[in-house]
Amino acid sequence: MIRRNVCFVFLFLISFCVLAQRVAAQDAGPQITTRPVADNSPSVSDEDIQMLRKDIRSQRKQIIAANMKLSESEAEKFWPVYEQYVSDLVKLNGTKYALIKQYIDTRGALSDTEAKSAVNQWVSVDESVAELRKKYIPLFGKVLSPKSTALFYQLDRRVQLMIDLQLASSIPMIEP
């Protein structure tokens, strides 16, 4: 159990260190801070977002693989279901990343209508992700034991919470 936790934390820290180094190495790249958005802030390109998302998916899979003790038979059945789950998740999270990009590109200058729409879209994505997780419970249950299914969901949720925390802490707050 301790080994699992250490491995999980280690992989997560490595992924964010690599991401931080990549961002720091790009002098002209996007700078996202928790300070108020300045008028001269650079925008985040679609390529930057796609690279970040690809890195996150890769790290997520590594964390899942390192912590799920799957037999060869279980792994053969699990990974195709996992890949489909992640594919569906990526589609849903596309809206979230588009909202982040819009917010950064507009430097946080949202009208009341745009702010209301963004909140509704963000909550809708969260609801859709929860529904997706519920949809996949029986699918993972067909290829894993109930305890392994619970472990997968526990790991998946922890990884998502850390990603959400990282995103939330790096996006400037809306000025009232």
Q: What is the dihedral of CA 175, 159, 93, 141, to 10 degrees?
A: -150
pLDDT at 2: 44
pLDDT at 22: 41
86 vs 163: CA distance, rounded Å: 15
Cβ 31 vs Cβ 42: under 8 Å: yes
pLDDT at 67: 94
Tokens of 176: 């009232």
Alpha helices in 38-171 (DSSP H): 46-67, 72-105, 112-143, 146-170
DSSP assignment letter at 158? H
Asked if pLDDT for residue 168 goes beyond 60, the answer is yes
Which residue in 61, 87, 59, 52 sits closest to 167, CA to CA?
A: 52
The more confidently predicted of residues 68 and 95 is 68
Cβ 153 vs Cβ 133: under 8 Å: yes
Q: How far is CA 158 from each of CA 29, 47, 109, rounded to the nearest angstrom?
A: 29, 26, 32
pLDDT, tens only, 37-68: 444 444 555 665 556 666 676 788 898 999 99
Three-class secondary structure of residue 156 per DSSP? helix
DSSP assignment letter at 174? P
pLDDT at 51: 62
Which range, of 36-45, 65-74, 142-151, averages the lowest pLDDT?
Answer: 36-45
Asked if pLDDT for residue 89 goes beyond 90, the answer is yes
pLDDT at 21: 40
Which of the four pLDDT bands, split at 50, 70 and 90, describes residue 149?
A: very high
Single pTM value for the model: 0.68
118 vs 112: CA distance, rounded Å: 10
Cβ 72 vs Cβ 129: under 8 Å: no
